[in-house]
Structure 1
Amino acid sequence: MNSNFEYYKVFYYVSKYENLTKAASALKTSQPAVTRTIQNLENELGCRLFTRSKTGMKLTPEGKIFYEYIAAGCAQFFRGENNLSNMITLENGTIYISATETALHCYLFQAMEEFNIRYPNVHFKILNNSTKNSIMALKEGKVDLAVVSASCNISSPLKMRRVLGYQDILIGGTKYQKLKGKRISLEKLSEYPWISLTSESITRNFLNEYFEEHGLQFSPHVELSTTDMILPVVRHNLGIGFIPAELVKADLLAGTVFEIKVEETMPERDIILIYDTEYPQSIASKEFQKFLAER
Structure 2
Amino acid sequence: MNSNFEYYKIFYYVAKYENLTKAATALKTSQPAVTRTIHKLEGELGCRLFTRSKTGMKLTPEGRTFYGYVAAGCAQFFKGENDLSNLISLENGTIYISATETALHCYLFQAMEEFNSLYPNVRFKILNNSTTESVNAVKEGKVDLAFVSANLQVAKPLRMKILRKYRDILIAGMRFEELKAGKEELSLKELVSYPWISLTAETITRRFLNEYFEKNGLTFAPDMELATTDMILPAVRHNLGLGFIPAEFADAELKSGQVFEIKVKEKLPERNIILIYDMEYPQSIAAKEFQKFLKEKGN
TM over 0.5: yes
Structure 1 match to 2:285 = 283
CA distance 1:87–1:45, shift in 2 (3 Å): farther
1:51 aligned residue? 52
Structure 2 partner of 1:192: 194
Query: Are 1:177 and 2:177 an aligned pair?
Result: yes
State the partner residue of 2:217.
215
**3-state SS in 2 of match to 1:163:** strand
2:122 paired residue number: 122
Q: Partners in 2 of 1:275 and 1:29 — Cα distance?
A: 22
SS of the residue corresponding to residue 262 of structure 1 reads coil
Report deviation, 1:143: 0.9
The range that moved more, 179-188 or 29-38, is 29-38
Q: Is the 8 A contact 1:145 1:273 kept in 2?
A: yes
In 2, the alpha carbon distance for the partners of 1:154 and 1:67 equals 28
**Which deviates further from its counterpart, 63-72 or 147-156?**
63-72
Shift of 1:293: 0.7
Mapped pair 1:32 → 2:32: yes
Structure 2 alignment gaps of length 5 or more? none
Instruction: Give the TM-score of the pair, scaled to structure 2.
Output: 0.90
> What SS class does the counterpart of residue 250 from structure 2 fall into?
helix
Change over 3 Å in CA distance of 1:46–1:135 after alignment to 2? same
Q: Distance in 1 between matches of 2:159 and 2:67?
A: 18
> Deviation at 1:202?
1.1
Displacement of 1:76 after TM fit? 3.5
Q: CA separation in 2, counterparts of 1:152 and 1:198?
A: 19
Q: Which residue of 2 aligns with 1:103?
A: 103
Q: Which deviates more, 67-76 or 247-256? A: 67-76
Q: d(CA) in 2 for partners of 1:202 and 1:29? A: 33
CA distance in 1, matches of 2:63, 2:262: 54
Deviates more, 1:78-87 or 1:91-100: 78-87
Q: Distance in 2 between matches of 1:11 and 1:217?
A: 52
Cα offsets for 1:193-250 (capped at 9, x unmatched): 2111111111111111111211222111111111000001111111111000111111
Specify whether residues 61 and 179 from structure 1 end up closer, same or farther in structure 2 by C-alpha distance, changes over 3 A only. Answer: farther
**Per-residue deviation at 1:64?**
8.0
2: distance between equivalents of 1:261 and 1:177? 13
**Matches of 2:143 and 2:245 in 1, distance apart?**
27
Query: How many residues of Structure 1 are paired with residues of Structure 2 in the alignment?
Result: 293
Deviates more, 1:176-185 or 1:241-250: 176-185
**C-alpha root-mean-square deviation of aligned residues, in Å?**
2.1
2:159–2:279 contact (8 Å) kept in structure 1: yes
Work out the CA distance in 2 between the residues paired with 1:230 and 1:110.
22
Deviation, structure 1 residue 3: 5.2
**Segment of structure 1 superposing worse, 30-39 or 92-101:** 30-39
Amino acid at match of 1:121: N
163 and 145 in structure 1: CA distance in 2 versus 1, 3 angstrom threshold: same
Judge conservation of contact 1:50–1:63 (CA < 8 Å) in 2. Answer: no
Runs of 4+ in 1 over 4 A off after TM superposition: 1-4, 70-73
Instruction: Tell me if structure 2 keeps the 8 A contact 1:12–1:67.
Output: no
